[in-house]
Amino acid sequence: MTATRNPTDWRSDAMRRRIARRYAAERRFKLAGLLAVLLSAAFLAFLLVTMMGNGLRGFTRTEIAVKVDFPASPLLLDPNAITDQALANANLPMVTGEVVKKALGADAEEWVSPTAWTALRDAIKADPKILSRTETVRLPASTAIDLAAKGKGSSEAEAAVDRLNKAGVLSTGFNMGFLTASDGTDPTQVGIWGAFKGSLLTMLVTLALSFPVGVATAVYLEEYARKNWMTDIIEVSINNLAAVPSIIFGLLGLSIFLNVLHLPRSASLVGGMTLALMTMPVIVIAGRNAIKSVPPSIRDAALGIGASPVQVVFHHVLPLALPGILTGTIIGMARALGETAPLLMIGMRAFIATPPGGIVDPATVLPVQIFLWSDEVSKGFVEKTSAAIIVLLIFLLAMNGLAIYLRNKFERRW
């Protein structure tokens, strides 16, 4: 041992400077942390704002009010025999063109959407008596006019919009069709209902398969499995499945469900099965954690008065773990709802203009619809893509929000 050291002089200048330096470092470090948080949040905000900026316009559409003198139009329809087929045979697209030209001028045909005649059809269907009088019908504007009316159009279209505005026939309103229609070729006419229903059916299949299996597995592994090689393999499999890239599940779906089992291509059934394989491990892991967090003292209590192991689990452990399991399930389902890549592999990327009727019908899902629209030629699709993204995000955020709420609400400190 060397000579005893002098007690530290905490008041010396050197020590004071040192401490000041240490506090400065402390502040810098804290600031770096704050910046990291803010930067991450800013990115999220930027993303959301961009999507909103582009997408909100997608929920509206421009309409042109056209006065239609039905008796004078080249329409050959008997007001007393309006059937779908009669309407289909009436060559409405041509009639619509004529009507528009008559009302707004020779070049006006370009201004309404190519599918504007459906508005005419719907008006006649709603009230066949219309055929005997003059009536104002609101026809959806073409993409060019629509964009120009929203301030993003070409110069010609803007000139046309000016003219229409002067005539007072242009109006912009909420686009109900966007929520009720399906995929289409004309951006003013497309909607998300088909894809949304496809998503719904797919999620239904996913949930029906992954939830029972996932919970059963979690219960077995956490409560009953003895530690042996088989449990080890199951555990390793599940942990690994949870980390397998989603596209690999797509490959599995393609080569097994489609090519070996010959299940129908593009169907929600196969999509749901593929996503179920992906979601199951998430539920298992969440379920195990939830079960694990039920304190052993509850099990002891039940066992101690003579409950069987199965009763212990079904009477006590599962009800207590349920919020945790549900949280995990919602998170897993949210992930599945946003998943795109594996579904591309099994052909859920086709153009399908009618909503699927069941789980074996060809369908697409919201994220894939977004992907498809993002590749569309017409510029009108940009805002529709963003609008669809907004819808998807609302759902996902709601699901995640629900999960967070559940987690906070039922978070127990035993």
Partner 1 sequence: GCGQQSGGAAGGTRDQIRAVGSSTVYPFATAIAEMFVQGNAGMKSPIIESTGTGGGMKLFCAGVGAQHPDIADASRRMKKKEYEDCQKNGVKDIVEIQIGVDGLAFAESNKGPGFKLTPKIVYEALAANPYGKGPNKAQTWKDVDPSLPATAISVFGPPSTSGTRDSLAELILTKGCETDPAMEALKKKSEDEFKATCTRIREDGKYVDSGENDNLIVQKLAANPNALGVFGFSYLEENKDTLKDVPINGVEASYETVSTGTYPGARPLYIYVKKAHMQAIPGLQAYLNTFAANWDPNGALTKRGMVAAPEAVRKASAEAVKSLPVLDGSQLK
Partner 2 sequence: MTGPAILLLLAGLGAIAWVSARARAMRLQTAARASGRRDAVHSLPGYHGWYVALWTLVPAGIFLAVWANVAPGLVMQDVLSSPAAQSLPADDFSRSAVLGEARAIATGNQAGAFNPLSQGLVEPYKDAIGKYGIAGAALALVLAFAGGAYAFTRVRPDFRARTRVERLVMATLLIASLLAIITTLGIVASLLWESFRFFSMVSPVDFLFGVKWSPQSAALGYGNDDAFGAVPLFWGTIFIGAIIAMVVAIPLGLMSAIYLTQYASPTVRKWMKPTLEMLAGVPTVVYGYFAALTIAPALRDFAVKIGIHGASSESALAAGLVMGVMIIPFVSSMADDSIAAVPQSMRDGSLAMGATTSETIRRVLIPAALPGVVGGVLLAVSRAIGETMIVVMAAGLAANLTLNPFASVTTVTTQIVQLLTGDQEFDSAKTLAAFALGLVLFIVTLLLNIVALRVVKKYREAYE
Partner 3 sequence: MTPAVETKMTARDVKVFYGEKQAIKGVSIDVDMDNVTAFIGPSGCGKSTFLRTLNRMNDTVASARVEGTITLDGEDIYAPSMDVVQLRARVGMVFQKPNPFPKSIYENIAYGPRIHGLAHGKADLDVIVEKSLRRAGLWDEVKDRLHDSGTALSGGQQQRLCIGRAIAVEPEVILMDEPCSALDPIATAKIEELIHELRGRYAIVIVTHNMQQAARVSQRTAFFHLGELVEYGVTSDIFTNPKAERTKDYITGRYG
Residues that bind partner 3 (CB under 8 A): 1-2, 5, 7-8, 10, 14-15, 18-19, 22, 226-227, 295, 297-308, 311, 315-316, 320
Backbone angles phi and psi of 347, in degrees to 5: 80, 20
Contact call for residue 82 and partner 2 (CB under 8 A): no
Please tell me the distance from the alpha carbon of residue 414 to that of residue 400, in angstroms, as a whole number: 25
Please tell me the distance from the alpha carbon of residue 300 to that of residue 298, in angstroms, as a whole number: 5
Stretch that binds partner 2, among 37-45, 131-139, 149-157, 200-208 (CB under 8 A): 37-45
Burial 141-153 (b: 16+ CB within 10 A, else e): bbbbbbbbbbebb
**With respect to partner 1, which residue has the nearer C-beta, 244 or 261?**
261
Name the minimum Å distance from CB 300 to partner 3: 6
Q: What angle is formed at CA 374 by the lines to CA 368 and CA 379, rounded to 5 degrees?
A: 145
Listed residue (90, 147, 169) closest to 123, CA to CA: 90
What the block records as the tokens of 364 is 């697409």
Q: What Cα–Cα distance (Å) separates residue 363 from each residue in 54, 62, 207, 344?
A: 26, 29, 17, 12
**With respect to partner 1, which residue has the nearer C-beta, 42 or 86?**
86
Q: Which of residues 64-83 bind partner 1 (CB under 8 A)?
A: 83
Q: Which of residues 144-163 bind partner 1 (CB under 8 A)?
A: 154
Please tell me the distance from the alpha carbon of residue 242 to that of residue 236, in angstroms, as a whole number: 10
Contact call for residue 196 and partner 2 (CB under 8 A): no
Among 2, 80, 85, 408, binds partner 1 (CB under 8 A): 85
**With respect to partner 3, which residue has the nearer C-beta, 168 or 306?**
306
Contact call for residue 180 and partner 1 (CB under 8 A): no
Name the minimum Å distance from CB 380 to partner 2: 15
Contact call for residue 400 and partner 2 (CB under 8 A): yes
Contact 355, 198 (CB under 8 A): yes
Dmax (CA) of the chain: 118
Q: What angle is formed at CA 369 by the lines to CA 53 and CA 379, rounded to 5 degrees?
A: 50
Please tell me the distance from the alpha carbon of residue 311 to that of residue 25, in angstroms, as a whole number: 57
Name the minimum Å distance from CB 260 to partner 1: 9
Q: Which of residues 264-283 bind partner 1 (CB under 8 A)?
A: 264-266, 269
**With respect to partner 3, which residue has the nearer C-beta, 15 or 233?**
15
Among 243, 304, 413, 414, binds partner 2 (CB under 8 A): 243
Among 132, 134, 237, 354, binds partner 2 (CB under 8 A): 237
Q: Judging by DSSP bridges, how do beta strands 170-174 and 60-69 pair with one another?
A: antiparallel
**With respect to partner 2, which residue has the nearer C-beta, 93 or 362?**
362
Name the minimum Å distance from CB 9 to partner 2: 15
Please report where in the chains the tokens 């995990």 appear, as a residue. 328
Please tell me the distance from the alpha carbon of residue 276 to that of residue 331, in angstroms, as a whole number: 13
Name the minimum Å distance from CB 173 to partner 3: 53
Contact 264, 362 (CB under 8 A): yes
Stretch that binds partner 2, among 129-137, 158-166, 175-183, 392-400 (CB under 8 A): 392-400
Residue numbers at the binding site for partner 1 (CB under 8 A): 83-85, 87-88, 93, 114-115, 118, 121, 154, 182, 184-186, 261-266, 269, 347, 349-354, 360-362, 375-379
